[in-house]
Amino acid sequence: MYSLSTLGPARTLLALLFLATPTLATPAVAADDTDAPRGAAVTVLKAAKSCFDDIVEVSGTIMARDETAVRPERQGLKVAEIMAEAGDIVTAGQLLARLNLPEGGTVSVQAPVAGTIAASSAVIGAMASGKGEALFSIIARNEFDLVGLVPTQSIGKLKVGQTAQVKIIGAGDVTGRIRRIGPTVVPDVQLGQVFIGIDGVRRLLVNSSGRALIKTNVGQTCNIAVPLTAVLYGPGGTVVQLVRRGRVETNSVEVGLMSGGRVEITKGLQEGDVVVARAGALLREGDPVRAETAAAEVK
C-alpha cells in the first residue's frame, strides 16, 4: 500500500476526495408482497349460536268480516233523498235515504247495523228495488280480517285463537287472533288459507296489504345464526361466503327459522367460522380479501 506522500499531487487530491465521500447505504429489500394486504376489504363476523322462536308468517289482504246489504222491502220505489255516502261511519238505525212511494208519501231507509258504508248505488231519481243491487253495503261493526296464505307445512303449527302481530300498510301495527283456518289448500302452490281477526274496532282500507307474524307453541330452536345479508340464494342452492387464510370460500348451507334480521343455519357452518357479513356475487371462490371485523351487528 502506498502512503499519501508517495503519490503525486493530483493523485493525492483524488485519494482524499475518495476517503471523504460517505458510503452510500444499500437500499433495503422491499417486504415480501405476500405479507402485504391484498384484495378488497370485506366486513366479517364470527358465526355464533342463537335461539329462535318458531314463527309462522302470513301475508294477505284486509277484508270485511261481514257486509250487510241494505235494500227496500218492496218494488217500485224511487230515491228521493240521500243522507249517507260510501266511507261514512254510521250507527244502527241511522237514516240513510228516503224513497218515494208510487202511491205518494215516502219511506225511510235505515242502517240495520253500525259500521262503515263500503259502497252505495243510491242516485236521486233512480229506482230502488228489493232485488238486485243493494242501495248500501255496510261493513258490519267495522270488523276486519287479514285473509292470507300459508305453506302447507306450516298450517299444522297454527290453531284457532293464537295471537298474531299484524302490520298493515297505511295503518301500522295491530294485534289479531286466528279466527279460522281453511279446510283446503291451493293444489298448484300448496298454500292454505288463514283468517286472522283484527282486534278492536278501527277503520281499515279493504284490500290493503298486511303481514302477520304468529308465534307457535313448537318452542325455540338454538343453532348457528348469521345475518340475512350473509346468505345468498341462487340456482345452485343457498350459500354463505367465508374467509379462510385471506381468501373467499363458499359453503352450501341449509337455513331454518328467521327472526330479527338473522337466519338460523341448520347445516353447513360451525361456530366461530369467519363469515362475510354482506355476501355478494362480486366475491368468488378463491378471491383474496382483507377481512375487517364488524364493529356492530349487521342488520
DSSP-derived secondary structure for 274-285: EEESS--TT--T
Range of the domain at 178: 56-64+142-220
pLDDT the model gives residue 219: 66
Same domain as 267, residue 135: no
Is 148 inside a domain boundary? yes
Same domain as 225, residue 204: no
The total domain count for the chain is 3
Could you give the CA distance from residue 40 to residue 284 in angstroms, rounded to a whole number?
12
Q: What are phi and psi of 87, to 5 degrees?
A: 100, -15
What CATH number has the domain bearing residue 103? Answer: 2.40.50.100
Decide which of 220, 250, 282 is a domain's last residue: 220
Decide which of 140, 169, 197 is a domain's last residue: 140
Q: Which residues contact 251 (CB under 8 A, 6 or more apart)?
A: 239, 240, 241, 242, 268, 269, 273
Tell me which residue of 287, 275, 295 sits closest to 44, measured CA to CA: 275
Decide which of 122, 140, 158 is a domain's last residue: 140
Q: Which amino acid is at 273?
A: D
Same domain as 268, residue 122: no
Same domain as 256, residue 119: no
Q: Which three cell numbers stand for residue 184?
A: 283446503
Same domain as 198, residue 165: yes
Strands (DSSP E) found in 83-190: 89-90, 95-100, 106-110, 115-120, 127-128, 136-140, 144-151, 163-168, 172-186
Could you give the CA distance from residue 90 to residue 141 in angstroms, rounded to a whole number?
10
Same domain as 133, residue 163: no
Number of neighbouring beta carbons within 10 Å of residue 167? 14
Is 162 inside a domain boundary? yes
Same domain as 100, residue 163: no
pLDDT the model gives residue 295: 63
Q: Name 256's bridge partners.
A: none
Same domain as 216, residue 146: yes
pLDDT the model gives residue 25: 39
Same domain as 77, residue 189: no
Same domain as 192, residue 60: yes
pLDDT the model gives residue 54: 80
Walk along the chain (299 residues) in steps of 10 and give the mean pLDDT of each run.
46 44 41 55 90 86 96 91 95 96 93 96 92 93 94 90 92 93 90 93 88 82 89 88 92 85 90 90 87 65
Tell me which residue of 54, 48, 61 sits closest to 147, measured CA to CA: 61
Q: What are phi and psi of 189, to 5 degrees?
A: -115, -5
pLDDT the model gives residue 12: 45
Same domain as 159, residue 117: no
Same domain as 60, residue 147: yes
Number of neighbouring beta carbons within 10 Å of residue 217? 9
Could you give the CA distance from residue 41 to residue 107 in angstroms, rounded to a whole number?
79
